[in-house]
Amino acid sequence: MHEDDFAILFKNEVQNAVNYMDSEYSQDRTNIQSYYLGDPFGNEVDGRSQVVSTEVSDVVEFMMPSLMKVFGNGDFARCLPRGPEDVASAEQATDYLNFVLTAQNPGFRILHNWIKDALLFKMGVVKVYYEVNDKIKDEEFEGVTPAQLAVLSSDDDVEIDEQESIENGVDEDGEPILVYNVKLKRRVPEPKICIDNVPPEEFLFNRRATDLESASFIGQRTQMTVSDLVEMGYDEDEVEQYAGYTELDQDEERQQRFEDIESGSNTESSDPTLREVLVTEGYIYSDVDGDGVAELRRVVAVGEATHVLENEPYDKVPFAVLSPILMPHRMVGRGVAEQVMDIQMVKSTIMRQLLDNLYLQNNSRVVAVEGQVNLDDLLQSRPGGIVRTRAPGMVAPLNVPQVGQQAFAMLEYMDSVRDNRTGMSAASMGLDPDVLQSTTASAVNATMQQSQAKVEMIARVFAETGMKDLASLILQCIVKYMPEAQIVRLRNEFVEMDPSTWATDYDIDVEVGLGNGREEEKMGMLVQIAGKQEQMLQQLGVNNPVVSPGQYVNTLKKIAEMAGFKDTQQFFNSGQQLEQAMAQQQQQQQQAPDPERQKFEAEIALKREKMKAEIALKQEEMKLEFELRRQELEAELALRAQSAQLGNPVSANMPRA
């Protein structure tokens, strides 16, 4: 495709998207912003009540704390490994992408504005991109040799401001040796992954787009200064041709946003480099190379998208979109504000009529007979005032019906309609005294949980759509633009991260913690779980199949987080350290002698020795008895032999052997 043909194609896509946004969404967003700010409706009558209800603001601000509590505390997303080999890198990727959001960027403010845009204007948009900013550092060196000075001068990132030569002795030939004191400015590139909120009026997409992936055109039309564009590398003369007034200056949404601070004054700068240029950054599918397949391309154009500055292939649209109430097959769903705009109008009308009725009752009209009453006295309404009449009964009050009872009943009905649509009510916040006094604690808790279902549904939609897309975009930028190992501070510790070793196809999980009871109940349940885990570790040991020390530490850290302590490292180390300590303690216990066992073994040894002594004693007694008997037999035999020699027979009653 020829460059001119592509420029025409791109301009047509931009113009069609602009016309679609202006006709479909621009006026709605302007009205919603007026309702949120409580501006008059335009149907006010002089001398009558002009009060405006703030239903849109009340509902949005009611939902914001709960949603920010879900996504604004701790890690907003986690990377889940798809295989056992990805576990360690997935944990690092989780820490790094949350570090990018909360440390490198103002994460809380980004999420707050993003969610609020979605609740108000049906759609909130953020953009993720990589940027290298140059930081200038002033440095001073003393005693720099000529060779070192030459190295500094040849560095493109160094600009020498001052140098002073000083003699530092002489060389072998008697020539003076010169050294230098140098003052310089060093340009240090600082790469960063940036996350920006995109104003709703700047975001463009084609009419038939159903999501970011399938949209044939996605873009952002904004204003940038000439200086910004030149710093990005574009030609100054080429850019200045399109500087000056742009149609965004007259955009109704933008004027309404800044009307209280601009007051119609001219905001154009007298500095030529600070003049604003209309810049359109679009992502369009087009068959530029003529192979029959449309590829995604990034295009930067200035003016009315007529002059293309850059046209390059790209891999993914860098936007993430939130929409509170999804509409099937549409890019933009419904917002929360539009659900209560009619309620705000009705309640404002009822309140105006109620107040007008009270005004008429307190300053009622009267019927006066013409010519019989001093009209000046009637027109001056003051306490203790006198009305002069020519005859009695010339002045009579004009009765005004009281509509207060019906008006308050109607206001309560409109509140119930609002509660059914949005879940906002005094009972849902635990503030209704009638509910608290007449029902049990479990019933109150059930009421609160049921009312939070609306907010929980919106939180789940946010988590599964825009939040996942944001985490995926951050992870993609990390792997693509920061492949080298870096030292970053995570959880108050400096950790080395090497994105080149990570996979790029992690499953992204965004946790939503609503709908599971109140904080006190969840914390109480976690305390019970921690007690059971501790009991199992003590009874079953470290290497049991039920619970690990890491899971036990995670439970303790979760309890600390719910108590409001973000830095849990000041209370607990990692579960791996606990597991190592418990394993070492168990090994020492196995190696250390057991006192009870030692006592038992000593008793056994003592009994063994005692039995050996008794057996030896019995053996000695038997030997002595046997020896004594042997001696008796030998004496008897000797006596018999002696008697036989003497011829004396041995007595019959003499014992025999």
What pLDDT, in 10s, does the model give residues 610-644?
Answer: 888 888 888 888 888 888 888 888 888 888 887 77
Are 496 and 485 in contact by the 8 Å Cβ rule? The answer is yes
Q: Which span out of 59-63, 101-105, 536-540 was modeled with the highest average pLDDT?
A: 59-63
Are 124 and 115 in contact by the 8 Å Cβ rule? The answer is yes
Q: Is pLDDT at 473 greater than 70 in this prediction?
A: yes
Helix 404-422 vs helix 55-71: angle between axes, to the nearest 10 degrees?
A: 30
Q: Is pLDDT at 513 greater than 50 in this prediction?
A: no
Nearest to 348 by CA among 32, 48, 42, 54: 54
**128 has which bridge partners?**
195
What is the reported pLDDT for 298?
A: 93
> How many angstroms separate the CA atoms of 559 and 539, rounded?
23
| More confident site: 485 or 651 | 485
Q: Is pLDDT at 430 greater than 50 in this prediction?
A: no
Are 302 and 311 in contact by the 8 Å Cβ rule? The answer is no
> How many angstroms separate the CA atoms of 198 and 337, rounded?
19
Which residue reads 């710093």 in tokens? 231
What is the reported pLDDT for 194?
A: 93
Q: Is pLDDT at 176 greater than 60 in this prediction?
A: yes
Identify the helix (H) or strand (E) that includes residue 115. helix 107-121
| More confident site: 21 or 1 | 21
Per-residue pLDDT band for 534 (boundaries 50, 70, 90) equals confident
- Which positions ≥6 away from 445 have C-beta within 8 Å? 517, 518, 521
pLDDT, averaged across the chain: 81
Q: Is pLDDT at 439 greater than 80 in this prediction?
A: no
Are 170 and 128 in contact by the 8 Å Cβ rule? The answer is no
What is the reported pLDDT for 654?
A: 46
What is the reported pLDDT for 655?
A: 47
- Which positions ≥6 away from 34 have C-beta within 8 Å? 256
Q: Is pLDDT at 650 greater than 60 in this prediction?
A: no
What is the reported pLDDT for 34?
A: 93
The torsion of the CA quartet 455, 451, 514, 107, rounded to 10 degrees, works out to 30
Are 274 and 225 in contact by the 8 Å Cβ rule? The answer is yes
pLDDT tens digits, 65-97: 888 888 866 677 888 877 777 777 788 888 888
- Residue 370 phi/psi, 5° resolution? -65, 130
What is the reported pLDDT for 479?
A: 84
Are 162 and 154 in contact by the 8 Å Cβ rule? The answer is no
Per-residue pLDDT band for 283 (boundaries 50, 70, 90) equals very high
Are 475 and 93 in contact by the 8 Å Cβ rule? The answer is yes
Q: What is the pTM of this model?
A: 0.75
pLDDT tens digits, 40-57: 999 999 989 999 999 999
Q: Is pLDDT at 422 greater than 80 in this prediction?
A: yes
Q: Is pLDDT at 317 greater than 70 in this prediction?
A: yes
What is the reported pLDDT for 60?
A: 94
